[in-house]
């Protein structure tokens, strides 16, 4: 394994007072990026994409995808795997800001946004998973705490690869050094004068609300169970007819490139437990590739 302990990756910190919470998250993430891992050897593991593999009858196809973005359900993992080797030879530390993904290269960097509360965090992908139906990413326990869903166990998220940092991590893992002509500079933060204005007195019985710096995104993103997507509308209609016993099933049309597809979905479902229960029934009904989707 090639060590990156002495190679510093400079992160662009958000500016403005409104980004305080995000800044704290990025600073936490910098510890992992600069090579401080639970193993104590400063390694983030080998660069690995991997061959197609099958888990519980489902095939996964790892690939470099620097345009990757997906919305779905995140879960977290911790004590059971703490101190064990990850899929690319790193050591999992549940207190670091890392994640497991089924197909992205390792290591790579992703931004995970909790769609329930708007919290956003950069995480280092260094493991494979999750393999539970309906989950798109597993984050470390510490990441779940910072994203605000450790107690709930799961949440709706948007996952986006950070292309520049992911390419840089690839180069460092393969070569043990920074990319050519990449310079590390540290410039002092600009000092700006801010006019201080007095706040009006609060009316009796009211409270002042102070922004925490998080951005509130749609708190009620619709959740569906998608049984499948069909090129033939009649096949989609038959699947829908079979699934109506499990809830409100519908056929919706979409296009992927030049291909027209007909998606069969149940929902929207008002919570993740109901989505999990519905997914289990749909899979048992003969739709093994069904999954939870968030729109």
> Contact at 8 Å (CB) between 229 and 261?
yes
pLDDT of 11 > 90? The answer is no
pLDDT of 295 > 80? The answer is no
pLDDT of 258 > 70? The answer is yes
Residue 65's SS3 state is coil
Question: Range with the lowest mean pLDDT among 190-194, 217-221, 256-260?
Answer: 217-221
Mean pLDDT value across residues 18-36: 36
pLDDT of 42 > 90? The answer is no
Q: Which helix (H) or strand (E) holds 97?
A: none
E strand spans, the chain = 53-55, 58-60, 69-77, 98-100, 108-114, 120-127, 137-140, 154-161, 223-230, 249-256, 259-269, 291-294
Between these two residues, 253 and 185, which has the higher pLDDT value?
Answer: 253
Question: Range with the lowest mean pLDDT among 151-155, 188-192, 235-239?
Answer: 188-192
Where residue 114 falls (left for φ over 0; alpha for ψ -120 to 50; beta otherwise) is: beta
What proportion of the chain, given as a percentage, has pLDDT over 90? 58
pLDDT tier for residue 132 given thresholds of 50, 70 and 90 = confident
The separation between CA 249 and the C-alpha centre of its own chain, rounded to angstroms, equals: 28
237 pairs with which residues across the strands? none
Between these two residues, 117 and 14, which has the higher pLDDT value?
Answer: 117
260 pairs with which residues across the strands? 255
**Under 8 Å CB-to-CB from 152, ≥6 apart: which residues?**
none
Distance CA(247)–CA(194), nearest Å, equals: 56
Mean pLDDT across the chain, nearest whole number? 79
Give per-residue pLDDT as tens, 219-246.
457 899 999 999 999 999 999 999 999 9
């Amino acid at each position: 394994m090639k060590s990156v302990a002495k190679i510093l990756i400079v992160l662009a910190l958000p500016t403005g007072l409104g980004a305080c919470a995000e800044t704290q998250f990025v600073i936490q993430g910098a510890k992992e990026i600069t090579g401080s891992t639970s193993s104590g050897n400063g390694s983030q593991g080998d660069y690995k994409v991997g061959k197609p593999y099958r888990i519980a009858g489902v095939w996964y196809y790892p690939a470099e995808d620097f345009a990757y973005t997906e919305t779905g359900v995140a879960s977290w993992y911790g004590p059971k795997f703490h101190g064990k080797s990850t899929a690319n030879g790193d050591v999992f530390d549940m207190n670091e800001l890392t994640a497991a993904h089924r197909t992205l290269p390792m290591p790579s960097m992703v931004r995970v946004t909790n769609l329930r509360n708007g919290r956003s965090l950069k995480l280092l992908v260094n493991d494979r998973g999750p393999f539970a139906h309906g989950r798109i990413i597993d984050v470390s326990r510490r990441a779940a705490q910072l994203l605000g869903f450790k107690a709930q166990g799961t949440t709706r998220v948007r996952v986006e690869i950070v292309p520049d940092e992911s390419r840089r991590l690839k180069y460092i893992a393969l070569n043990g050094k920074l990319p050519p002509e990449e310079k590390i500079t540290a410039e002092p933060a600009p000092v700006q004068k801010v006019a201080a204005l007095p706040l009006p007195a609060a009316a009796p019985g009211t409270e002042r609300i102070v922004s925490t710096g998080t951005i509130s995104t749609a708190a009620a993103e619709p959740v569906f169970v998608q049984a499948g997507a069909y090129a033939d509308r009649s096949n989609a209609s038959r699947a829908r007819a079979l699934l109506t016993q499990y809830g409100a099933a519908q056929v919706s049309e979409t296009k992927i490139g030049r291909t027209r597809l007909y998606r069969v979905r149940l929902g929207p479902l008002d919570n993740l437990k109901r989505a999990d229960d519905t997914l289990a029934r749909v899979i048992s009904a003969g739709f093994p590739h069904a999954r939870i989707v968030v729109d």
